[in-house]
Amino acid sequence: MIEAIEKKFLLCICRDPEKILKAYAEVPFNTLPTSEGRFFYEKIIDHFNQYKTLPTKTVFKVWISKLEDVEFKSSLIAYFESFSTTTIQDGEFQFYVDSLKKNKIYNDALDTIERFSNTIEKDKIVDQINDLQNELSRIGSSSNKKVDYYNLSENVNDQIRSFHCSTETNKGIPTPIEALNNAIGGLKPAQLNIIAGVSGSGKSIFLLNFSEYAYRLGYNVAYFTIEMSYQDCLNRYHSLITQFPANSILHSTLSDEDKRLFYHKLYDYHIIDKGSKKKLNEIFKKDLTELGISPTEEEIKIYGNEAKKYSINRLFEHVKDLTFRPNKFFIIDAMFGLSAYHLKSHINNLSRKGNVDLIVVDYLNLMNSGLRGLQDWEDAKHVSRALKTIAREFNLPVLTAVQLNNATKGEKITQNDVRYSKAINENADNVIAFKRNDKDELLNIIRLELIKHRHGKSEIITVKEDFNRISIQDVKINGH
């Protein structure tokens, strides 16, 4: 029965652009039960995102013809022939969507029971497993032993997600703000976290601080920059980790001595073992002649008698054998804009190179849905929903920012102050907004207000800022 529903679902989205949008927002690819269905579903979505048209029968045949796997190609041909003769009823699309999602929940539940029933971890969650087994038994207790998965309780979905993640994986990625970690538990898998502030208030700086802190703790970070160029973003990142003023790095006004210290700090930041740190310190304490390097003629022209000391580039040859952090900080320059479809494609590509633990997008209002003819609020709704879907599909935290309406300084911020608030807030798990008045600016502090917290109450958290060095500091941690 579920395979027939899968075919009806695919037929629906092939006939209606609105249904494609709804499917993309609500039904991840792995929800479909058959490999053939997943193949066609992904192709349909890709085709629509690229060409903004519905695929024809000819397009389906082209997809199949390009495959080299003869066995799978034969299976797809048979599937397509039966799919082409499938009939659908008006108004049943939501039923197809719900059926596929609940079937996925049920199958995940069965997998979970099998996974934990014979492991040492069972003792830790025996009550939850027993509850889930009872739930499944109740559903499958009919005389013919067929499972009516449509009656599966909705809260089982949350149980499955927590079961499939180990205790460590299910913990949130800590932020550099202790009070925020206590409030929301860090940036958790499958959650959409939003930082809200007026234009020019420092949203990007917060995103970068959260990203850098995660990388420093050993997580792999994918940082998508839309507004700033790759180099500008990298300069800010280097300012944050070395604590040299951002403008001095941007405009190349560091003194020669500061340049040496700057590069020393950069390398030291990316090195994790004590032996390599010791070797690094020895390298940067020496001048070039002690390392057996002679300055080039060009370097002598620039630095004169000091060339042997200040020619930084010549030192790079001596740090190749040091041990650097195994995790990655990817900065992706989305100079041509970023749609949810392209974001997902990037994440898939990065996942092939290794794990991605945190997705950061700077920022939501600059993304686009990839769809034409939508009003701004509709576009924002599709983008925020797509970000939430990506968080759930990849089981990763997504962090982004949005614009606040130009509220008066000092006013209490509410969800209504978020631009296109209803369209965006309903998809977010946590919304952290800036609250700042004139006195706060003199004291270099920022008040963060947790205006939406799906699993807790709203509260206000105070942090110190040094925007000149792209730095956000936890007031409690720094003892102020």
| Entry field: residues in the chain | 480
pLDDT digit string, tens, across residues 296-332:
676 677 667 766 655 555 566 667 677 788 888 999 9
Residue 401 falls inside a structural domain: yes
Residue 171 falls inside a structural domain: no
| Rounded-to-integer distance, Cα 455 and Cα 413, Å | 19
Is the pLDDT at 151 greater than 50, yes or no?
A: no
Residues 219 and 77 in one domain: no
| Rounded-to-integer distance, Cα 10 and Cα 279, Å | 60
Q: State the residue range of the domain holding 421.
A: 178-241+326-474
Residues 247 and 233 in one domain: no
Q: Which of 319, 338, 366 is the last residue of a domain?
A: 319
Residues 274 and 371 in one domain: no
| Rounded-to-integer distance, Cα 235 and Cα 2, Å | 53
Rg (CA), the chain: 27
Residue 359 falls inside a structural domain: yes
Residues 158 and 22 in one domain: no
Is the pLDDT at 377 greater than 60, yes or no?
A: yes
| Rounded-to-integer distance, Cα 204 and Cα 240, Å | 12
User: By the 8 A CB rule, do 79 and 43 touch?
Assistant: no
Structure tokens at 267: 């390398």
Question: Virtual CA dihedral for 184, 185, 189, 195, nearest 10 degrees?
Answer: 40
Q: Does the predicted model carry a pTM greater than 0.75?
A: no
Residues 423 and 280 in one domain: no
Residue 451 falls inside a structural domain: yes
Structure tokens at 413: 């911020």
Low-confidence winner among 142-151, 302-311, 366-375 (lowest mean pLDDT) = 142-151
Residue 169 falls inside a structural domain: no
Angstrom distances, CA of residue 233 to CA of 7, 57, 89, 207, 224: 46, 45, 51, 11, 10
Low-confidence winner among 131-140, 230-239, 303-312, 462-471 (lowest mean pLDDT) = 131-140
User: By the 8 A CB rule, do 56 and 377 touch?
Assistant: no
Give the pLDDT mean for 461-465.
Answer: 88
Residues 79 and 47 in one domain: yes
Give the pLDDT mean for 202-222.
Answer: 93
Residues 228 and 355 in one domain: yes
- C-alpha dihedral sign at 122, 125, 131, 135: negative
Q: What is the largest CA-CA distance in the chain?
A: 93
Residues 341 and 426 in one domain: yes
The continuous run of DSSP H or E covering 74 comes out as helix 70-84
Backbone φ and ψ of 430, nearest 5°: -135, 135
Query: Could you tell me what percent of the chain has a pLDDT over 70?
Result: 74
Q: Which of 450, 369, 366, 429 is nearest to 402 (CA)?
A: 366
How many domains does the structure of the chain reveal? 4
| Rounded-to-integer distance, Cα 202 and Cα 465, Å | 10
Is the pLDDT at 235 greater than 80, yes or no?
A: yes
Structure tokens at 219: 């997580």
Residue 454 falls inside a structural domain: yes
| Rounded-to-integer distance, Cα 120 and Cα 104, Å | 26
| Rounded-to-integer distance, Cα 93 and Cα 87, Å | 12
